[in-house]
């Protein structure tokens, strides 16, 4: 991020500089005890820092789409080096719970009286070649006062999650990714009506399906029956080096096996009109079913995913599609980094969704910084990751050299040290510590 080599469109230089100062300060707010933005050791007093942040977040002249542009610029740069013709766009939602934050007058109520807060819809771009997360392409924040979004021109507030996706897919050409977007969604998006709408608009998609009825080999059967009938066709997925493809699931790690079949969805879609559910007929949709299984050493199936996609087999083999879905969890890691494992967004004190979304965009750039450090394969980056993990004080699991949360925590401390050393001499600080705290700081 040196030199801030990202583009902001028409955002003036003064606001750009303020944005990057706030990104640095946001890295300093990852401690679980921090409720809001904190000041670095040598900067302005905390009150002044908080006031500057508040002015920035209330500045209506700074559009949400402008604040997202640096992240999109980083995504485009990374995709330019990807050998895949595709870019995965992973869609998911998370809820920021604010049931005790009575000062937020525009909280959204979902299922019950205490289910209050803001609901974030994210479109996260993932490298289709290696599964590395690259950055957000769009945010949509549902509040009690309507939808707040990074989409230029705004977005409507549709009835449900899945209804948001067509608009996001239609917007994706404006992101100028330089690749063919493949929209990847979990099984809440398994909907015939939405499949028809997406396909009619020319979008590529990959969705985990429920055990729905399809037409296969001239018969109407459930997807589970199709999967069972593919038994002899399952093949083990191999990495480019020839090793078995290993996938982690909740019950452990297993080998990935796949099989596929051509199926047709020809049943009517179901939708609600008023208080009634009605059937809406439509054209038959030919899709690929890719059955992905994670199998342990004893041959026991630990997980099975029924995946429906309109990406042609000539463009992406079944093994590739299975890998794509296995990378879907990247977006859950991203949301976790915004919440409990990093930015602690549920403790933020902004009183309106507009300010919350602006702050989320600032925080996302701090998160993007450590993500790109995590994917940098240079020796210098590897050394810096080791140092940041040491500074973080966090223990890594076996075979894991770093995590985004650990890098973020370590970067917080490094920025604090760098700022401190602008005005203090390290040797003098250590000598003072040895003098005042001799049992903790020893000479030699």
Quick check: 46 pLDDT over 60? no
Contact between 164 and 149 (Cβ < 8 Å): no
As a whole number, the mean pLDDT across the chain is 84
Examine the domain organization and report whether 368 and 421 are in the same domain. no
User: Which residue range(s) make up the domain with 71?
Assistant: 1-185+339-375
Task: Please indicate whether residue 102 or residue 10 has the higher confidence score (pLDDT).
Answer: 102
Is 401 inside any structural domain? yes
Is 61 inside any structural domain? yes
The confidence band for 25, taking pLDDT boundaries of 50, 70 and 90, is low
Question: What pLDDT was estimated at residue 258?
Answer: 97
Examine the domain organization and report whether 353 and 388 are in the same domain. no
Domain end residue (candidates: 349, 375, 401):
375
Is 84 inside any structural domain? yes
Examine the domain organization and report whether 442 and 403 are in the same domain. yes
Spatial distance between the Cα atoms of 259 and 230, rounded to a whole number of angstroms: 7
Render pLDDT for 202-252 as a digit per residue (tens, 0 to 9). Answer: 999 999 999 999 999 999 999 999 999 998 899 999 988 889 888 888 888
Quick check: 36 pLDDT over 50? no
Examine the domain organization and report whether 174 and 160 are in the same domain. yes
What is the tally of structural domains in the chain?
2
Question: What pLDDT was estimated at residue 108?
Answer: 87
Quick check: 322 pLDDT over 90? yes
Q: What mean pLDDT comes out for the span 412-439? A: 85
Examine the domain organization and report whether 357 and 389 are in the same domain. no
Spatial distance between the Cα atoms of 394 and 30, rounded to a whole number of angstroms: 13
Of 189-198, 311-320, 340-349, 417-426, the poorest mean pLDDT is in 340-349
Of 104-118, 273-287, 403-417, the poorest mean pLDDT is in 403-417
Contact between 106 and 44 (Cβ < 8 Å): no
Examine the domain organization and report whether 364 and 405 are in the same domain. no
Examine the domain organization and report whether 66 and 163 are in the same domain. yes
Domain end residue (candidates: 375, 394, 421):
375
Q: What mean pLDDT comes out for the span 11-15? A: 59
What is the pTM assigned to this prediction? 0.81
Is 200 inside any structural domain? no
Q: What mean pLDDT comes out for the span 308-324? A: 96
The confidence band for 89, taking pLDDT boundaries of 50, 70 and 90, is very high
Quick check: 300 pLDDT over 80? yes
Examine the domain organization and report whether 354 and 397 are in the same domain. no
Spatial distance between the Cα atoms of 177 and 53, rounded to a whole number of angstroms: 31
Examine the domain organization and report whether 84 and 176 are in the same domain. yes
Hey, what are 309's tokens?
């996609």
**Percent of the chain scored above 90 by pLDDT?**
43
Examine the domain organization and report whether 355 and 389 are in the same domain. no
Helix (H) or strand (E) run with residue 436 in it: helix 426-436
Helix (H, G, I), strand (E, B) or coil at 173: helix
Question: What pLDDT was estimated at residue 61?
Answer: 63
The confidence band for 38, taking pLDDT boundaries of 50, 70 and 90, is very low
Contact between 368 and 124 (Cβ < 8 Å): no
Quick check: 405 pLDDT over 50? yes
Is 159 inside any structural domain? yes
Domain end residue (candidates: 324, 354, 375):
375
Examine the domain organization and report whether 67 and 109 are in the same domain. yes
Of 54-68, 143-157, 359-373, the poorest mean pLDDT is in 54-68
The confidence band for 100, taking pLDDT boundaries of 50, 70 and 90, is confident
The confidence band for 43, taking pLDDT boundaries of 50, 70 and 90, is very low
Question: What pLDDT was estimated at residue 84?
Answer: 97
Q: What mean pLDDT comes out for the span 12-24? A: 60
Spatial distance between the Cα atoms of 203 and 247, rounded to a whole number of angstroms: 28
Contact between 306 and 288 (Cβ < 8 Å): no
Is 345 inside any structural domain? yes
Q: What mean pLDDT comes out for the span 163-177? A: 96
**DSSP of 278-341, one letter per residue?**
EEE----EEEEEEEEEEE-TTS-EEEEEEEEE-S-TTTS-HHHHHHHHHGGGHHHHHHHHHTTT
Question: What pLDDT was estimated at residue 268?
Answer: 94
Radius of gyration of the chain (CA): 24
Question: What pLDDT was estimated at residue 45?
Answer: 39
Burial 389-409 (b: 16+ CB within 10 A, else e): bebbeeeeeeeeebbbbbbbb
Q: What mean pLDDT comes out for the span 159-186? A: 95
Render pLDDT for 357-380 as a digit per residue (tens, 0 to 9). Answer: 988 887 777 777 777 788 788 999
Is 166 inside any structural domain? yes
Measure the N-to-C terminal CA separation of the chain; round to a whole number of Å: 37
Task: Please indicate whether residue 123 or residue 36 has the higher confidence score (pLDDT).
Answer: 123
Is 365 inside any structural domain? yes
Examine the domain organization and report whether 370 and 384 are in the same domain. no
Q: 404-420 and 330-338 helices cross at what angle (nearest 10)?
A: 40
């Amino acid at each position: 991020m040196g030199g801030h080599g990202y583009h902001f469109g028409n955002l003036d230089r003064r606001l750009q500089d303020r944005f990057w100062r706030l990104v640095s300060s946001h890295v300093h707010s990852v401690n679980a005890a921090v409720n809001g933005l904190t000041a670095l050791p040598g900067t302005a007093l905390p009150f002044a820092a908080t006031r500057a942040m508040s002015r920035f977040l209330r500045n209506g002249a700074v559009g949400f789409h402008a604040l997202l542009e640096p992240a999109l610029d980083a995504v485009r740069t990374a995709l330019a080096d990807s050998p895949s013709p595709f870019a995965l766009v992973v869609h998911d939602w998370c809820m920021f719970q604010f049931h005790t934050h009575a000062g937020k007058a525009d909280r959204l109520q979902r299922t019950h009286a205490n289910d209050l807060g803001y609901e974030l819809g994210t479109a996260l771009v993932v490298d289709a070649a290696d599964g590395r997360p690259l950055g957000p392409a769009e945010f949509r924040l549902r509040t009690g006062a309507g939808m707040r979004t990074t989409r230029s021109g705004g977005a409507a507030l549709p009835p449900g999650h899945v209804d948001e996706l067509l608009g996001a897919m239609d917007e994706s050409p404006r992101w100028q990714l330089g690749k063919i977007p493949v929209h990847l969604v979990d099984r809440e998006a398994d909907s015939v009506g939405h499949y028809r709408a997406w396909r009619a608009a020319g979008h590529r998609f990959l969705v985990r399906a429920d055990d729905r009825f399809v037409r296969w080999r001239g018969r109407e059967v459930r997807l589970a029956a199709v999967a069972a009938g593919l038994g002899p066709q399952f093949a083990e997925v191999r990495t480019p080096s020839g090793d078995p493809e290993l996938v982690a699931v909740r019950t452990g790690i297993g080998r990935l096996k796949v099989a596929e079949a051509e199926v047709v969805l020809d049943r009517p879609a179901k939708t609600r009109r008023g208080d009634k559910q009605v059937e809406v007929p439509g054209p038959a949709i030919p899709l690929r079913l890719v059955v992905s299984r994670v199998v342990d050493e004893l041959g026991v199936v630990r997980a099975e995913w029924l995946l429906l996609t309109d990406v042609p087999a000539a463009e992406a083999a079944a093994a590739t599609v299975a890998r794509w879905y296995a990378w879907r969890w990247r977006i859950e890691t991203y949301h976790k980094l915004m919440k409990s494992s990093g930015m602690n967004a549920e403790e933020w004190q902004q009183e309106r969704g507009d300010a919350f979304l602006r702050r989320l965009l600032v925080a996302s750039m701090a998160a993007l910084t450590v993500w790109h450090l995590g994917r940098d394969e240079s020796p210098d980056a590897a050394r810096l990751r080791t140092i940041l993990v040491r500074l973080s004080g966090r223990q890594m699991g076996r075979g894991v050299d770093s995590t985004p949360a650990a890098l973020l925590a370590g970067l917080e401390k490094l920025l604090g040290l760098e700022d401190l050393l602008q005005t203090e001499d390290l040797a003098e600080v250590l000598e003072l510590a040895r003098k005042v705290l001799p049992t903790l700081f020893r000479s030699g």
